[in-house]
Structures are given as structure tokens and as C-alpha cells.
């Protein structure tokens, strides 16, 4: 019945030419103009622009990420939407600038879901086009509506914003609760040992990193001195759930196995998998077989481990005969940081390696290294290998993928840059607002303008320049990728133009 109505509507549309509204798409009716490849986002946590061989790293071997870059499109001007995790992930899934949502800030493990369950998201859009959708890995977009009881169904969460299947860690590896959730249920929970979580006070008698350093195997540098799990002091307090607690050193293997199992179980319908790895975010806990592999301590070893997992995952796609029909997008949620709160020798052992490559700043920063990240699209046989300097943002994935699969264009901040992502064009966006811990800046063509901000120029604990200065900053990124020459005083017209455009977009 539905089909015949659609057929009639289609015929009618043919007669009417392009005047009438397009008939609603039916996921079962292939749209002749559309492709429906499998789509995978491989998303790393705190991986820097310079952390990948294909982006210039020489001291660190990342052969599997390099293979994707060399066999696909490697973007040199690809951006995360923010210099921290939650806002970037919000924008990745919704196509909306994170500064439009006041809640899109680094969230505690108890925060409610920050994506409106009615909102269009990448998985929801693809589901409407007949995809099966899944997330495996780090979530960090909040769960529930506040006051989550971790011993019952935890909802709303990924399954309420478009994912058919979810296997996640709630927030970050350094935040409680240190358990996995599968489709809203804590995995392996013993009902006789319920989980309690608090971000305001400890549970009586429970040891903490602050009071019981003798129980820790990893030492905290700043923050990270609450509950101790597996010898690692965390952010937040947690009690119970002993059987459900994850093993940190097995986390990469665990998520990989989940991602592989998901892919192996697929039938004929196309799938979307958001594979969100936890590396190289703190605490860096590579499996023992990767320890010492990079010569850079746990941070480098965690990147080597992540690269291995990506290689194994791609191998699985190949073995399943899926690789030729799968579009892979690889990127990171924000730029690099060495000391992010634990003594793990990241600073001491980094040597000549430059996690940010030639860029200034790092995680938390409005300078380029905060948001410009590795960004690769790969689809063998479809995307011609090459390098693109086009300005692209993770915001652009939702509308571009909508265009790929023949869905209606969502009204969001992202732009449809499908030909660019597929390597058929080098046209990028003209402008992009960058965000870092609630501050914003404007990239326009080759120019970058940072308005005055009163905060400290450097975040001392992590030793990263934040981009704050009492005056406007203006950089020409083609000539000065390292942002060393502030041209605000010598290019007043250009500055005026960017300040005006910035105010228009920001609505201030």
C-alpha cells in the first residue's frame, strides 16, 4: 500500500517536473541518485594533528592510520568543532555549533543527556534511510535526565538519539562510573553490589587518591584524586559494582572486539558505526603488549595501540567483504595534551615528537592545535587518493552524508560538502567558528581572528597556550601556520571584516 502510494507520488512528481515537493523517501526504495555504503566514524580522543605519520610524525609509527590517509583523502584543514570532547561530539552527531548549546561543555559522569531526543542526528538520519546504527566506545554526551540510577535502565542515551545499538563508556576513562553500558544497562552488574556515583562527596570509608596515595599505581598531578579504580585515581566518587568495573588495560581490545562483532553480525542492510576510541586520553593504559613500543611512554604507546586496533578493525571489514562498500571517516575530537592530570611521563619522554605538528597551542586552546585535527575520508574504489586543503569541519558530515544517502538536507550549521569529502572537488567552506572552552574565534578563508579574552594566556597545569590576549589577534594561516605574527595592527581592514562576520554568525 505504502509502496503504491509512493509510486503514484513519484509518477506525479515526474509529470510536475521539479515544481512540487519531493516525495518522502522510503528506506526500502533505493533512490537512484543515492548511494548507501556502510559508514564508519573512527574517532580518537585527544589525538593531535602531528600524532599521525601521514601528518608528519616520524618518531611515532601509525601505519594503519597512514594507510587510510594514503588510500583516501587527507584533509590538511579539517577541524573538530571544539578544543574539548563533549562539544565536539555534540557537533559531530548533530551538525550544530556546540556554542549554541550551553550544556555542551566537558561533562561529569552524572550529567544528563545534552542532545534533544527530537533532534536530527547522523544515526537518526541514516536510520531513516534504512541503516542499522551503532556506537561503540566513548560517549561523553550525558545520560538520563539527572539523578541516574545506574542499577536500572539508563535512559535517555544513545539509543534515544538514533542508535539501534550502543556499547559505551559513559563519560571519559578518567571519570566514574568506570563501567560499560550496553543499550542502557551496566554490563556485568551484580544486583547484590549496586553502584552509587557522586561528583560532590565521597562515600564513607571509600579510599581516594587524595587520602590514600599508597593505594595508587598511577599518580595524579592535578584533579584526578577521587575514587581509586584499578589503582588509578579518578574524577568523581563511586562505590560498588565491583564485578562490572572495566579493566583499563583491556579497554582497547574490548571495544575493538565489540566493533568487530557488530560488523560481523551485519546482514544485507547498510550500517553506520561510530567507533569512538578512548586513546590517547588520560589515563593512558596501553595493554602490556604495547608497553614500551613507542619509546614515548604511555601516551605514545596508547597511540600505537589505537593504530593497531584501527588496523584490526579495517582487516575485519575486509574479511567480511565489506571494505569496498564502506566509507570510513577518521578524525579526533580535539587536539593534543601531554600532562592532562597524571604523572605518566608524557612530557619527559616526548623527545622531538610534536603532537601538534606545526600548529600552536593544544587541547583547550583557541589556537589551531586545539581544533585542527587529522581528518581522513577513505572509500576504496570510490575516493581517489589525494590531499585536500579545503576547509572542512566535522559539522559538515551530517548534511554531506544526508546528501550521499539521498536524505533531506537538515537545517544545521554544517554544510553539504559531499563532493569534497569524496575527493571530487576541493571546494571547502568559506568560514568556520572555532570553539575552545566556551570561547570562540573565526576562520575565514586563510585568515583566523581571535577576539580579546581576559583569561590567562597559558593554562599552567597542562602547559598549553589558550589563545587569550587583551587585544585582537589576526593570523594568515597560509603564510603563518604557527600563528607567530599577529597582523591585527597592520591589516585593520581585514580585521574589521572578520570582526563583522564573526558578530553576524555569533549573533552578538
List contacts with ligand NG6 (CB under 6 A).
45-46, 84-85, 106, 140, 172, 174, 222-224, 235, 281-282, 334, 340-341
User: Which of ligand NG6, Ca ion, none binds 189 (CB below 5-8 Å, type-dependent)?
Assistant: none
Q: Give 23's contacts (C-beta < 8 A, 6+ positions apart).
A: 6, 9, 10, 13
Q: Of the two residues 85 and 306, which places its CB atom closer to Ca ion in the complex? A: 85
Specify the residue, 235 or 259, whose C-beta has the smaller distance to ligand NG6.
Answer: 235
Backbone angles phi, psi at 497, to 5 degrees: -60, -45
- Look at residues 144, 72, 165 and name the one whose alpha carbon lies nearest to residue 422: 72
Kindly state whether residue 45 participates in binding Ca ion, applying the rule CB under 5 A.
yes
Binding segment (CB under 5 A) for Ca ion, from list 38-46, 104-112, 255-263, 431-439 = 38-46
Grid cell of 118 as nine digits: 527530537
Q: How far is CA 300 from CA 174, 291, 337, in A?
A: 18, 9, 12
Q: How far is the CB of 329 from ligand NG6 (least distance, A)?
A: 19
- Residue closer to ligand NG6 (CB basis): 45 or 307: 45
Using CB distances below 5 to 8 A depending on partner kind, what does residue 66 bind out of Ca ion, ligand NG6, none?
Answer: none
- State yes or no: residue 371 binds Ca ion (CB under 5 A): no
Nearest approach, Cβ of 430 to Ca ion (angstroms)? Answer: 27
Instruction: Take residue 419 and report the three cell numbers written for it.
Output: 563532493
140 binds, among ligand NG6, Ca ion, none (CB under 5 to 8 A by kind): ligand NG6
Residue pair 360/448 in contact (Cβ under 8 Å)? The answer is no
Report the alpha-carbon distance of residue 130 to residue 333 in Å, rounded. Answer: 27
Phi, psi of 369 (to 5 degrees): -65, -15
Residue 106's binding partner, choosing from ligand NG6, Ca ion, none, with beta-carbon cut-off 5 to 8 A by kind?
ligand NG6
Nearer of residues 45 and 465 to Ca ion, judged by Cβ: 45
Compare residues 144 and 336 and give the one whose CB is closer to Ca ion. 336
Q: Which residues of 380-413 are buried (b: 16+ CB within 10 A; e: fewer)?
A: bebbeeeebebbbbbbbbbbbbbbbbbbeebebb
How far apart, in whole angstroms, are the C-alpha atoms of residue 74 and residue 392?
11
What's the CA gap between 477 and 118, in Å, rounded? Answer: 39
Question: Which residue, 340 or 435, is less far from ligand NG6 as judged by CB?
Answer: 340
Segment interacting with Ca ion, rule: CB under 5 A, options 242-250, 296-304, 330-338, 416-424: 330-338
Binding part of the chain for Ca ion, among 68-76, 266-274, 325-333, 339-347 by CB under 5 A, reads: 325-333
From the CB of 199, what's the least distance to ligand NG6, in Å?
11
Cβ proximity to Ca ion, 85 vs 390, nearer residue: 85
138/168 Cα distance (integer angstroms): 6
Size of the site for Ca ion (CB under 5 A): 5
Q: How far is the CB of 56 from ligand NG6 (least distance, A)?
A: 22
- Strand pairing partners for 273? 40, 134
Cα–Cα dist 488/499, whole Å: 11
Does residue 333 bind Ca ion (CB under 5 A)?
yes
Among ligand NG6, Ca ion, none, residue 172 binds (CB under 5-8 Å by kind): ligand NG6
| 91, 114 contact by CB (below 8 A) | no
Nearest residue (CB) to ligand NG6, 224 versus 360: 224
Distance separating alpha carbons of residues 448 and 473, to the nearest angstrom: 8
CB closer to ligand NG6 out of 171 and 477: 171
Specify the DSSP element, H or E, that contains 65: helix 63-71
Q: Which of 27, 37, 46, 359 contacts Ca ion by CB under 5 A?
A: 46
* Residue nearest ligand NG6 (C-beta atom): 223
**Residue 27's closest CA among 124, 95, 158?**
124
At its nearest, how many Å lie between Ca ion and the CB of residue 115? Answer: 17
- Contact partner at residue 61 from Ca ion, ligand NG6, none, CB < 5 to 8 Å by partner kind: none
Judged by beta carbon distances under 5 to 8 A according to partner kind, the member of Ca ion, ligand NG6, none in contact with residue 95 is none
Q: In the set 85, 125, 259, 329, which binds Ca ion (CB under 5 A)?
A: 85
- HSE-CB at 296 with a 13 A cutoff on CA atoms is 26
* Residue 333: CB minimum distance to ligand NG6, A: 6
Answer yes or no: are the C-beta atoms of 396 and 416 closer than 8 Å: yes
Q: Smallest distance, Å, CB 140 to ligand NG6?
A: 6
Burial of 16 (0-12, 13-18, 19+ CB in 10 A): exposed
CB of 88 to Ca ion, least distance (A): 7
**Chain length of the chain:** 508
Q: Of 330, 359, 348, 280, which is closest to residue 92 (Cα–Cα)? A: 330
- We find the least distance from the C-beta atom of residue 276 to Ca ion, in angstroms, to be 10
Answer for which of 166, 334, 459, 468 binds Ca ion (CB under 5 A) is 334
Q: Is 51 in the site for Ca ion (CB under 5 A)?
A: no
Quick one: what does residue 405 bind among Ca ion, ligand NG6, none, with the CB cut-off 5 to 8 Å set by partner type? none
Binding site for Ca ion (CB under 5 A): 45-46, 85, 333-334
Amino acid at each position: 500500500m505504502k509502496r503504491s502510494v509512493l509510486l503514484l507520488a513519484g509518477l506525479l512528481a515526474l509529470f510536475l517536473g521539479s515544481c512540487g515537493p519531493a516525495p518522502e523517501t522510503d528506506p526500502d526504495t533505493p533512490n537512484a541518485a543515492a548511494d548507501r555504503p556502510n559508514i564508519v566514524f573512527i574517532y580518537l580522543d585527544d589525538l593531535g594533528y602531528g600524532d599521525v605519520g601521514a601528518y608528519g610524525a616520524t618518531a611515532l609509527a601509525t601505519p594503519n592510520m597512514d594507510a587510510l590517509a594514503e588510500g583516501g583523502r587527507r584533509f590538511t584543514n579539517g577541524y573538530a568543532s571544539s578544543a574539548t570532547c563533549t562539544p565536539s561530539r555534540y557537533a559531530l552527531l548533530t551538525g550544530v555549533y556546540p556554542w549554541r548549546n550551553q550544556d555542551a561543555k566537558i561533562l561529569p559522569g552524572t550529567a544528563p543527556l545534552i542532545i534533544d531526543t527530537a533532534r536530527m542526528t547522523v544515526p537518526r538520519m541514516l536510520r531513516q534511510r534504512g541503516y542499522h546504527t551503532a556506537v561503540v566506545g566513548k560517549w561523553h554526551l550525558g545520560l538520563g535526565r539527572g539523578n541516574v540510577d545506574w542499577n536500572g535502565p539508563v535512559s535517555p542515551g544513545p539509543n534515544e538519539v538514533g542508535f539501534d545499538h550502543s556499547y559505551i563508556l559513559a563519560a571519559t576513562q578518567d571519570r566514574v562510573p568506570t563501567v560499560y553500558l550496553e543499550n542502557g544497562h551496566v554490563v556485568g552488574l551484580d544486583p547484590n553490589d549496586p553502584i552509587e556515583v557522586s561528583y560532590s562527596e565521597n562515600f564513607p570509608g571509600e579510599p581516594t587518591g587524595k587520602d590514600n596515595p599508597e593505594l595508587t599505581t598511577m599518580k595524579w598531578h592535578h584533579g584526578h584524586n577521587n575514587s581509586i579504580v584499578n589503582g588509578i585515581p579518578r574524577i568523581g566518587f563511586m562505590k560498588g559494582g565491583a564485578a562490572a568495573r572495566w579493566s583499563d588495560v583491556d579497554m582497547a581490545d574490548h571495544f575493538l572486539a565489540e566493533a568487530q562483532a557488530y560488523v560481523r553480525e551485519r546482514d544485507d542492510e547498510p550500517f553506520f558505526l561510530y567507533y569512538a576510541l578512548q586513546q590517547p586520553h588520560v589515563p593512558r593504559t596501553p595493554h602490556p603488549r604495547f608497553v614500551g613500543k613507542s619509546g614515548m611512554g604511555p601516551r605514545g604507546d596508547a597511540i600505537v595501540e589505537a593504530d593497531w586496533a584501527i588496523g584490526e578493525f579495517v582487516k575485519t571489514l575486509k574479511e567480511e567483504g565489506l571494505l569496498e562498500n564502506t566509507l570510513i571517516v577518521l578524525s579526533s575530537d580535539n587536539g593534543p595534551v601531554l600532562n592532562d592530570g597524571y604523572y605518566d611521563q608524557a612530557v619527559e619522554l616526548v623527545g622531538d615528537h610534536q603532537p601538534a605538528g606545526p600548529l600552536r597551542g593544544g587541547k583547550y586552546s583557541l589556537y589551531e592545535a586545539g581544533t585542527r585535527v587529522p581528518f581522513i575520508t577513505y572509500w576504496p574504489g570510490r575516493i581517489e587518493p589525494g590531499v585536500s586543503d579545503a576547509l572542512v569541519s566535522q559539522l559538515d558530515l551530517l548534511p554531506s552524508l544526508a546528501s550521499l544517502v539521498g536524505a533531506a538536507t537538515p537545517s544545521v550549521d554544517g554544510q553539504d560538502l559531499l563532493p569534497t569529502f569524496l575527493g571530487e572537488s576541493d571546494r571547502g567552506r568559506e568560514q568556520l567558528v572555532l570553539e575552545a572552552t566556551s570561547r570562540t574565534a573565526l576562520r575565514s578563508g586563510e585568515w583566523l581572528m581571535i577576539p580579546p579574552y581576559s583569561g590567562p594566556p597559558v593554562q599552567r597545569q597542562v602547559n598549553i597556550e589558550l589563545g587569550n590576549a587583551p587585544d585582537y589577534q589576526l593570523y594568515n594561516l597560509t603564510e603563518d601556520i604557527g600563528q607567530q605574527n599577529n597582523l591585527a595592527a597592520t591589516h585593520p581592514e581585514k580585521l574589521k571584516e572578520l570582526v563583522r562576520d564573526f558578530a553576524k554568525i555569533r549573533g552578538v
